[in-house]
Amino acid sequence: MAQVIDFHTSASAIFNQGDEAAFIYLLVDGVVRTFHTSPDGERQIVAFHWPGDLFGLAEHGRHVTSAETITSSQIYRFPCQKLERFLLKNPKIEDGFLIKAIHDLRSAQRQLIIMGRLAIFRRLAVFLLDCSAHEHYFDKAKRLLTLPMSRYDIADYLGTSAETVTRALSKLTADDAVRRVSARALKLDLDKLRTLADFD
Amino acid sequence: MAQVIDFHTSASAIFNQGDEAAFIYLLVDGVVRTFHTSPDGERQIVAFHWPGDLFGLAEHGRHVTSAETITSSQIYRFPCQKLERFLLKNPKIEDGFLIKAIHDLRSAQRQLIIMGRLAIFRRLAVFLLDCSAHEHYFDKAKRLLTLPMSRYDIADYLGTSAETVTRALSKLTADDAVRRVSARALKLDLDKLRTLADFD
DNA sequence: CGCAGTATTGAGACCCGTCAATGTTGGTGG
DNA sequence: CCACCAACATTGACGGGTCTCAATACTGCG
């Protein structure tokens, strides 16, 4: 029922804003961004997806966002109609989708709280903590985070500019919450970050 | 199965952030705000709920937001456990909840796009258009919107301050997109607002 | 009538977006 | 293996939008 797709390059389009939604996607390996593009060309990244994440839930049968790989990725996709029939015969499974939808809803609402009220350096602290939850990109022993995405991606996710992300990172460094090993490799002090991020 | 609750005063608490989620709520009449409060006291309104809206979906059995009436309101509430048992026996109905969750998810993501990328006066234009979708508060013939919420509520929803909301409203007025009949009564030029708001 | 909550307006400071210049990095081909 | 190049990242300077504080209206209700 599922098809496997491999993307060996980054910035590959998975689906585009406005497309008819024919599939639901399960990310097996890699990192994906889903984003919205305004008529004036502004890009807002709505979510980053990590291994194990399901994405591509549509509205009225159409995608409201585009999705692209950030790293090389392996993805399963399931045809929507077949999935729907399958779900109707196995209503129990739909629970999973309800749970998933509710989980995504929480993520979006949480992001709203963050974007609405927090100074940029605190948004960045939250973001780094979120990234550190993904084993494959965070070495717990060394407390070393390897960012798969660029400053521009982070900026378009946090609702700011790449320059401001860099400056916010400088501030976190000054506060000893982060040490810059390289641009994409950061040593984190989780406790300090949590203190800075704290919003609930 | 459902209980009916009437709130005759505004700013009445329906449930609080951190509460165990015992009910799901259906707003029959009135307007409700759900919001998150940070340790530093900052308030982010996550959504306004209008007649017909379902709200109070919880995470891990607890409410992540508080809910309060904005106007006097009539609300139905359904005990969660009973609801759950009921849904399991009538899986078809759960579709409704999945649809609802997905709809809320879209609202939150849409709000994210707005908060991330739009200047305040454009956020306000989007907000006024959203309000004008609710018949009970918008007289289509007269194009007259009656806002049930304060500038502070709008500010905490759009991620800004009450003063800035007022100033953004002045700008919309200068652009002839809005005419201020009174503080809470606005005559809208929907076409001009849509031009200003346009983001997809 | 008076009060409390709400709304508006002004002034100053500061954060952050933009533009521009420079530094860094990883990949490619000679 | 190295030179080169194109992204990416960082830093600085500047201007504008918005937050905060403060003062002043406005409004509905007891």
Q: What's the pLDDT tens digit per position in A19-55? A: 999 999 999 999 999 999 999 999 999 999 999 999 9
B67 contacts B34 by C-beta, under 8 angstroms: yes
| Options 1.10.3720.10, 3.40.50.2300, 3.50.50.60, 1.10.10.10; CATH of B119-197 | 1.10.10.10
**Residue B118 beta carbon within 7 A of nucleic strand D:** no
Tally of CA atoms within 13 A in the half-sphere of A25 that contains its CB:
30
CB within 8 Å: A57 and B102: yes
Please determine whether the domains at A3-89 and A118-197 fall in the same fold group of CATH: no
Measured CA to CA, the distance from residue A94 to residue B85 in angstroms comes to 15
A contact test, residue of B112, B194, B198 with most A CBs within 10 A: B112
Cα–Cα distances (Å) from B163 to A12, B139, B152, B155, in that order, read 44, 27, 9, 8
Q: Smallest CA–C1' separation from B122: which nucleotide? A: D17
Give the model's pLDDT for residue A88.
Answer: 67
Looking at CATH, the fold of the domain delimited by B3-90 is given as Jelly Rolls (2.60.120)
Sign of CA dihedral B14, B157, B102, B138: positive
Determine the distance from the C-alpha atom of residue A162 to the mean position of all C-alpha atoms in its chain, rounded to a whole number.
Answer: 17
Q: In terms of Cα–Cα distance, which of A112, A110, A134 is closest to A188?
A: A134
| Options 3.30.70.100, 1.10.3720.10, 1.10.10.10, 2.40.110.10; CATH of A118-197 | 1.10.10.10
DSSP letter assigned to residue B141: T
Closest by Cβ to B117, choosing from A44, A109, A198: A44
Residues in chain A closer than 8 A to B92 (CB atoms):
91
CB within 8 Å: A112 and B115: yes
Lowest-confidence pick of A10-24, A93-107, B168-182: A93-107
Closest by Cβ to B101, choosing from A92, A98, A156: A98
Closest by Cβ to A102, choosing from B101, B111, B200: B101
Give the model's pLDDT for residue B49.
Answer: 97
Give the model's pLDDT for residue B147.
Answer: 98
B80 compared with A127, residue with greater pLDDT:
A127
pLDDT of B95 strictly over 80: no
Tell me how close the Cα of A142 comes to any Cα of chain B, in angstroms. 31
A22 contacts A62 by C-beta, under 8 angstroms: no
Rounded mean pLDDT of chain B? Answer: 93
Tell me how close the Cα of B142 comes to any Cα of chain A, in angstroms. 31
Share of chain B above pLDDT 70, in %: 96
Q: Which DSSP helix (H) or strand (E) runs through B56?
A: none
A101 contacts B101 by C-beta, under 8 angstroms: yes
pLDDT of A101 strictly over 90: no
pLDDT of B149 strictly over 90: yes
Q: Which residues of B touch A (CB under 8 A)?
A: 36, 38-39, 42, 44, 46, 57, 59, 64-65, 91-92, 94-95, 97-98, 101-106, 108-113, 115-117, 156, 158-159, 198-200
The whole-number average pLDDT for the span B132-161 is: 97
pLDDT of B93 strictly over 70: no
Share of chain A above pLDDT 70, in %: 96
B contact test, residue of A113, A165, A200 with most B CBs within 10 A: A113
Q: Smallest CA–C1' separation from B183: which nucleotide? A: C7
The whole-number average pLDDT for the span B146-160 is: 98
Q: What ranges do the domains of chain A cover? A: 3-89, 118-197
Give the model's pLDDT for residue B88.
Answer: 67
pLDDT of B185 strictly over 60: yes
Q: What's the pLDDT tens digit per position in A61-95? A: 899 999 999 999 999 999 988 877 776 676 565 56
Give the model's pLDDT for residue A1.
Answer: 73
Q: In terms of Cα–Cα distance, which of A52, A199, A182 is closest to A125?
A: A199
For chain A, the first-to-last Cα distance in angstroms comes to: 42
| Options 3.60.70.12, 2.60.40.1760, 2.60.120.10, 3.30.565.10; CATH of A3-89 | 2.60.120.10
| Contact positions of strand C to protein Cβ (< 7 A) | 5-11, 15-20, 25-26
Give the model's pLDDT for residue B85.
Answer: 77
B87 contacts A99 by C-beta, under 8 angstroms: no
Give the model's pLDDT for residue A91.
Answer: 59
Query: What tokens were used for A177?
Result: 């919450």
Q: What's the pLDDT tens digit per position in A128-166? A: 999 999 999 999 999 999 999 999 999 999 999 999 999
